[in-house]
């Protein structure tokens, strides 16, 4: 078997702009990793901004410019599904970027993040197919780039990436999705509810991956995880606010002491 360069294969998927082509490449590269056709190796980390591939649509606007729609209407439900679909697309790139950029990590790190990317591909396809079944498509609505902006802000350090993307932004999805599911259920949107329940359950494992590698890096650098996390929250101006899905956070690798501190800091 002729081995291909691991980082070149991941780069190719990361830079691909067509959404379905990117999805196909992610599926294939994970299979290549499992078969031993590609294998990560220590190298210099990639610094600076990487122009991750994305299609021309959706048009990107600031978060404040994204229209808010009521879930009682079909247009509102489609806009919500589109917004989550866009998050999942960015999450594909996040998984690829972690595996491509941070090249001093143990081999399991690359397996973990490429498996996350593969999961996100499935989530993206589920939501994109729903949009198409309802006469819409991914790209039909405006979207913001907040998740990828955070990836760029944390591109210089895997510890900061693990702290602020999985443990803040993706964990936020664990917090707010149950409320969205409840509202959709009240509006009879059973098909969307079924999709979001799958995504919510599987996103716990993605936050768990982030927690695992955050703690690994804290231990490697002899840093206290809780104090370091909240220091980074303050330094990077991240906002933590209720509701908190405490049970899901515990299943995803947060410890009770962190959650207690989080709740207490909000109540002050």
pLDDT tens per residue, range 214-256 = 999 999 999 999 999 999 999 998 888 899 999 999 999 999 9
In a domain, 60, yes or no: no
Interhelix angle 225-235/190-220, nearest 10 degrees: 110
In a domain, 192, yes or no: yes
| Total domains present in the chain | 1
pTM of the complete model: 0.96
Cβ-Cβ contacts under 8 Å for 16 (sequence gap 6 or more):
22, 25, 53
Residue 4 has a pLDDT of 86
Residue 130 has a pLDDT of 99
In a domain, 59, yes or no: no
Residue 49 has a pLDDT of 78
CB atoms within 10 A of CB 10: 27
Question: Among all chains, which residue has been given the structure tokens 């994970």?
Answer: 30
CA–CA separation, 1 and 264 (whole Å):
56
Residue 28 has a pLDDT of 97
In a domain, 52, yes or no: no
CA–CA separation, 190 and 211 (whole Å):
32
Q: What range does the domain containing 117 cover?
A: 4-39+65-267
Residue 268 has a pLDDT of 54
In a domain, 50, yes or no: no
Comparing C-alpha atoms, which of 262, 215, 257, 223 is closest to residue 239?
A: 262
In a domain, 53, yes or no: no
In a domain, 245, yes or no: yes
Residue 19 has a pLDDT of 98
In a domain, 243, yes or no: yes
| Angle in degrees, CA 176, 187, 76, rounded to 5 | 70
pLDDT tens readout for residues 8-57: 999 999 999 999 999 999 999 999 999 999 999 999 999 887 889 999 99
Residue 51 has a pLDDT of 83
């Amino acid at each position: 078997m002729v081995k291909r360069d691991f980082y070149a294969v991941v780069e190719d998927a990361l830079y691909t702009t067509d959404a379905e082509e990117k999805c196909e490449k992610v599926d294939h590269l994970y299979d290549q990793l499992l078969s031993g056709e590609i294998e990560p190796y220590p190298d210099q980390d990639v610094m600076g901004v990487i122009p991750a591939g994305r299609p021309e649509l959706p048009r990107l606007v600031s978060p404040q410019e994204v229209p808010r729609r009521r879930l009682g209407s079909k247009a509102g439900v489609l806009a919500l599904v589109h917004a989550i679909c866009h998050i999942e697309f960015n999450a594909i790139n996040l998984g690829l970027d972690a595996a491509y950029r941070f090249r001093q990590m143990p081999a399991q790190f690359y397996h973990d993040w490429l498996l996350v990317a593969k999961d996100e591909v499935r989530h993206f396809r589920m939501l994109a197919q729903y949009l198409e079944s309802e006469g819409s498509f991914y790209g039909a609505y405006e979207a913001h780039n907040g998740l990828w902006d955070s990836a760029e802000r944390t591109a210089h350090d895997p510890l900061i990436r693990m702290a602020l993307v999985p443990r803040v932004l993706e964990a936020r999805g664990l917090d707010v999705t149950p409320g969205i599911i409840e509202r959709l259920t009240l509006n009879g949107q059973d098909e969307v509810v079924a999709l979001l329940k799958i995504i919510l359950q599987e996103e716990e494992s993605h936050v768990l991956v982030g927690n695992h590698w955050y703690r690994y890096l804290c231990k490697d650098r002899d840093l206290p995880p809780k104090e370091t996390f909240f220091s980074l929250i303050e330094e990077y101006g991240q906002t933590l606010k209720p509701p908190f899905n405490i049970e899901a956070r515990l299943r995803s690798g947060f410890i009770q002491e962190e959650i207690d501190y989080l709740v207490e800091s909000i109540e002050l």
